[in-house]
Amino acid sequence: MADGSPVTRFDPYAARAQFPILSRQVNGRPLVYLDSAASAQKPRAVIDAMVGSMEGGYANVHRGLHTLANETTEAFEAARESVARFLNAEAASNIVWAKGGTEAINLVAAGIGQSIEPGDEIIVSEMEHHSNIVPWHLLRERHGAVLKWIPVLDDGSVDMAAYADLLGPRTKVVAVTHMSNVLGTINPVRKITEMARDAGARVLIDGCQGAVHAAPDVQAIGCDFYVFTGHKLYGPSGIGALYGTAEALGALPPYQGGGEMIETVERDRVTYAKPPHRFEAGTPPIVEAIGLGAAIEWLSQFDKAAITAHEQALYNHARARLDGVNWLKVVGEAEGKGAILTFTVDGAHAHDIAQVMDRYGVAVRAGLHCAEPLAKRFGLTSSARASFALYNTTEDADAFADALIKAREFFA
């Protein structure tokens, strides 16, 4: 567990049974949910924690003196402690609540932007999600920052030699994903961070996928900032977290103004709270934070390596079932990648493939996956994506392959 308790042997069927929605049918067939990279389903532990908070112990946090306020504050801050343990942060004070990974990145970009000068450089990779591109574009538009792009190689890995060449005296920020939501590539974030720090740059890691499927140890990575979102980590939407070192958070100005983020407010001046509360203006997403804490505690009972091996086995099984077909193109095959299978089918649009597969109860994603520069890099206007999670089974992988073959036959 996240508190150091012994882990439980991972049984995917027992884990799956804890997700109520996975027992339903779609179009008269058992649901095969392979869209977890977009948003994962929620176990009973998360549902119960959130309902229990609303039914038996809800109030606003931090400022109340009555019993319900104290109970809710304890649960809210216990969730922050869970996040800190999960990321191996130095302390809970290194964790800032946000409404998701997107807001967390915007918080950092807005703060850094106040010291950005024309010509300062920000490095991102071609595989970034729009959430880790657009906030930096705002600094380009408003402050004259220059965006530089780490190329992606044909196998879906980042070009580290090209990255080394991009670093320079004007580099202020390096912002890269821990794991690509399209390619499944797990980036060498520790090495990327080391190189950036040697150049004197801040480093932000987008861990929205990596926190689920990779190793989100922020002290081992050495980054200034690490962000992730709750809804991909088997928790609720509307909640995410930003990790920052004490020094990095202390250097950021406030992001929003309001209650909670201040020490004093007078007619002619304001003084601000220390991190993390400096960045948590207003009433926070209390129930959602409690739900995320429950998700992390639930997930932490299992052996992480066993989950990773299970997901990879499902990916390999699906690939083996489709081995030899000449109408399928897989996008992204970097060594050590996670269990995300993005593909195109000759003669059929990805949206059409996804709709036909849905007739067989199989849920996959189709489109640009909020990564348009990456799609252009591979010459794609759309692709389909199956993303495996801990609750998927071999039967799901077989159902995916069967449905995809039938979908192809439909358009052949």
Give yes or no: residues 122 and 240 share one domain.
Answer: yes
Q: What is the pLDDT of residue 71?
A: 96
In the chain, the percentage of residues whose pLDDT exceeds 90 is 96
Per DSSP, the three-state class of 32 is: strand
Range list of β-strands (E), 178-280: 202-206, 225-229, 240-244, 262-265, 270-272
**Distance separating alpha carbons of residues 330 and 314, to the nearest angstrom:** 16
Asked if 343 and 12 touch (Cβ cutoff 8 Å), the reply is no
Q: Is 6 part of any domain?
A: no
Asked if 371 and 127 touch (Cβ cutoff 8 Å), the reply is yes
Question: Residue for token digits 């990773």?
Answer: 308
- Identify the band that residue 3 occupies on the pLDDT scale cut at 50, 70 and 90: low
Number of domains in the chain: 2
Q: Tell me whether residue 264 is exposed, middle or buried, using C-beta atoms within 10 angstroms of its C-beta: 0 to 12, 13 to 18, 19 or more.
A: exposed
pLDDT of residue 4 exceeding 60: no
Contacts of 148 (CB under 8 A, 6+ apart): 121, 122, 123, 124, 166, 171
Give yes or no: residues 147 and 276 share one domain.
Answer: yes
207 strand-pairing partners: none
Q: What is the pLDDT of residue 386?
A: 98
Single out the residue in 280, 299, 318 at which a domain terminates. 299
Sign of CA dihedral 73, 79, 84, 88: positive
Give yes or no: residues 179 and 31 share one domain.
Answer: no
Q: Is 78 part of any domain?
A: yes
Mean pLDDT of 331-341: 98
And the tokens for 187? Answer: 């980036």
Give yes or no: residues 251 and 350 share one domain.
Answer: no
Contacts of 34 (CB under 8 A, 6+ apart): 362, 363, 364, 386, 387, 388, 392, 396, 400
146 strand-pairing partners: 121
Give yes or no: residues 377 and 332 share one domain.
Answer: yes
Give yes or no: residues 257 and 395 share one domain.
Answer: no
And the tokens for 160? Answer: 């580290």
Summarised one tens digit per residue, pLDDT across range 265-294 is 999 999 999 999 999 999 999 999 999 999
pLDDT of residue 1 exceeding 60: no
**Distance separating alpha carbons of residues 320 and 398, to the nearest angstrom:** 10
Return the H-helix or E-strand segment holding 310. Answer: helix 304-321
Q: Which of 95, 370, 386, 399 is catalytic?
A: 370
**Average pLDDT value for the chain:** 97
Asked if 341 and 35 touch (Cβ cutoff 8 Å), the reply is no
pLDDT of residue 142 exceeding 80: yes
Give yes or no: residues 259 and 388 share one domain.
Answer: no
Note if 223 is an active site residue: no
Give yes or no: residues 130 and 211 share one domain.
Answer: yes
Q: Is 3 part of any domain?
A: no
Give yes or no: residues 83 and 171 share one domain.
Answer: yes
And the tokens for 121? Answer: 């450089």
Within a 10 A sphere around the Cβ of 298, how many other Cβ atoms? 21
**Distance separating alpha carbons of residues 398 and 404, to the nearest angstrom:** 10
Asked if 331 and 368 touch (Cβ cutoff 8 Å), the reply is no
CATH number for position 347: 3.90.1150.10
Summarised one tens digit per residue, pLDDT across range 31-59 is 999 999 999 999 999 999 999 999 999 99
Distance of CA 222 to the CA centre of its chain: 18
* Rg for the chain, CA atoms, rounded: 22
Single out the residue in 299, 329, 357 at which a domain terminates. 299
Per DSSP, the three-state class of 186 is: strand
Q: Is 345 part of any domain?
A: yes
Per DSSP, the three-state class of 106 is: helix
Summarised one tens digit per residue, pLDDT across range 182-197 is 999 999 999 999 999 9
And the tokens for 98? Answer: 């946000």
**Distance separating alpha carbons of residues 307 and 11, to the nearest angstrom:** 9
**Distance separating alpha carbons of residues 257 and 404, to the nearest angstrom:** 50
* Cis bond upstream, residue 276 (ω within 30): yes
**Distance separating alpha carbons of residues 229 and 193, to the nearest angstrom:** 21
- Identify the band that residue 2 occupies on the pLDDT scale cut at 50, 70 and 90: low
Q: Is 59 part of any domain?
A: yes
> What is the chain's length?
412
pLDDT of residue 66 exceeding 90: yes
Range of the domain at 136: 48-299
Indicate the pTM of the whole model.
Answer: 0.96
Q: Is 4 part of any domain?
A: no
**Distance separating alpha carbons of residues 326 and 235, to the nearest angstrom:** 39
Give yes or no: residues 84 and 65 share one domain.
Answer: yes
Give yes or no: residues 273 and 350 share one domain.
Answer: no
Summarised one tens digit per residue, pLDDT across range 229-273 is 999 999 999 999 999 999 999 999 999 999 999 999 999 999 999
Single out the residue in 239, 267, 299 at which a domain terminates. 299
Find, among 385, 355, 358, 349, the residue nearest to 370 by Cα: 385
Give yes or no: residues 148 and 244 share one domain.
Answer: yes
Q: What is the pLDDT of residue 46?
A: 98
Range list of β-strands (E), 47-162: 95-98, 121-125, 146-150
- Identify the band that residue 215 occupies on the pLDDT scale cut at 50, 70 and 90: confident
